[in-house]
Amino acid sequence: MKNGSIKNTEFSVSDECTTQERDIISRYWELDNTVFVNKPSIIAKEFNFKTYQIPAIAAKHAIMKLYFDCKSCHNEDVIEVKSQVAYLRNIKKKHNCKSCEEEIKVNERIRRERIQKLRYETELKHKELLTEEINKTLEKGIINESWKLLDNEQFNFLLKICMINNRNKIFSQVFNDDFNRGWQITNSLEKLNLVYIERKRDKSVKDFHFSEELLPILQNNHLNYEPTVENEKRFEWDRLSMRLKKNYSTNEFDPLYSGIATFKEDVVLKAYTKHVYSVWPKENGNIWISITPIEDIVTVTNEPIENEPRHIQEIIKSMFKNPLN
C-alpha cells in the first residue's frame, strides 16, 4: 500500500449468499498485495457465468472497508468499496475524511462564488467605463456638429447606419456590396466621433453606437429625407461613384474598362443639374469614377453658392484630393 494513506482493510461477505456465490466472491477479491489475482472474465468462464454477472454478485454480497488517516486532519475514516475498480482507484490515493472533504467543497464553492462576483463586478465596471467613453466620444461629435463636415456620400451612409442601428443589419444591408468602401467611410465617421465602434478582443466589431441626438439631426439635415418610410426604405442617391475594372484584353476593339456593377440604391442624376465628374486611378489599373451634383457638395459643406462663389472651386478641389469621397 505504498503512496496511499490506507492503513488497514476489512473484508466482509453477507451471510445470505450461496456457497457458489461465496466462492465467486472469494475468487473475485483474491489479492496478491494490492493486485487482483483473477479477472471477472476468468471467474465467469470457470463458473459458467457471463462476465458482467461476476462484479454484480460481488457488489451485492461483499464489502471491502479501507481505513485511512485523513491527509488533512489525520483523523481516522473509512471508505467502503464494492468492486475491483473502486478498490484500485482508492487504494493508492491519500484521502481526506468526510468532514475535511465537506469543508474543502464548501471552501471551493466560496472561492468560486468570490471569483464569479469579482468577475461580475469587473465586467460591470468595464461596462460603465465603456458607456462613459462611448457617451463622451459621441457627445464630441454632436458638440462639434461634425456631420457638417461630411460629403453627401458619407452623410447618407451615416444616416443609413444610424437608422438601421443594428450591427448585423448594418453589415448585411450597408457593407454588403462594397465592404472596403463601407469601412473607409465608417473610419472617417469614427474619426469625427459620429459613430463609436465597440470591438471585441479580436478587433472584430461587437456593435455600432450612435448618439441618441444624432438621428433627428441627420433627418432634419437630409435634403431628400422622407420621414414616413421604414428602415428598409430604398435610398435614392443623386451621385454615382464606382470602381471600373481594367480590361486586360489585347483586342483593340474591346472596351478599356468593363464589368458588372450592382447598386445599393436607385441613382438619379437630375437633368439640367451641374455635376462634377472625376476619375481617379486605382490599383491594378482600375479606376474610380464619381459623378456628383455640385449643389450637393456645396450644401453639405454648408457653403452658400451665391455668397461665396470662390468656395465652390475650393470645395470641389478638396473633393478631388480625396478620390474616395
Give the footprint of Zn ion on this chain (CB under 5 A): 70, 72-73, 97, 100
Minimum CB separation of residue 97 from Zn ion in Å reads: 3
For residue 13, the one-letter residue type is: V
Looking at beta carbons only, is 70 or 195 nearer to Zn ion? 70
Q: Are 259 and 245 in contact (CB under 8 A)?
A: yes
| CA–CA separation, 270 and 90 (whole Å) | 87
Minimal CA–CA distance to 6: which of 93, 73, 96? 93
| CA–CA separation, 225 and 207 (whole Å) | 25
Give the DSSP letter string of 157-182. Answer: HHHHHHHH--HHHHIIIIISS-HHHH
Minimum CB separation of residue 69 from Zn ion in Å reads: 9
What's the grid cell of residue 49? 457465468
Looking at beta carbons only, is 97 or 185 nearer to Zn ion? 97
Minimum CB separation of residue 77 from Zn ion in Å reads: 7
Minimum CB separation of residue 101 from Zn ion in Å reads: 8
Looking at beta carbons only, is 97 or 192 nearer to Zn ion? 97
Looking at beta carbons only, is 72 or 83 nearer to Zn ion? 72
Give the DSSP letter string of 23-80. Answer: HHHHHHT-EETTEES--HHHHHHHHT--TTHHHHHHHHHEEEEEEEE-TTT--EEEEE
Looking at beta carbons only, is 26 or 72 nearer to Zn ion? 72
Looking at beta carbons only, is 58 or 70 nearer to Zn ion? 70
Minimum CB separation of residue 102 from Zn ion in Å reads: 9
Minimum CB separation of residue 13 from Zn ion in Å reads: 30
Look up cell 465537506; give the residue.
Answer: 102
Minimal CA–CA distance to 298: which of 283, 309, 282? 309
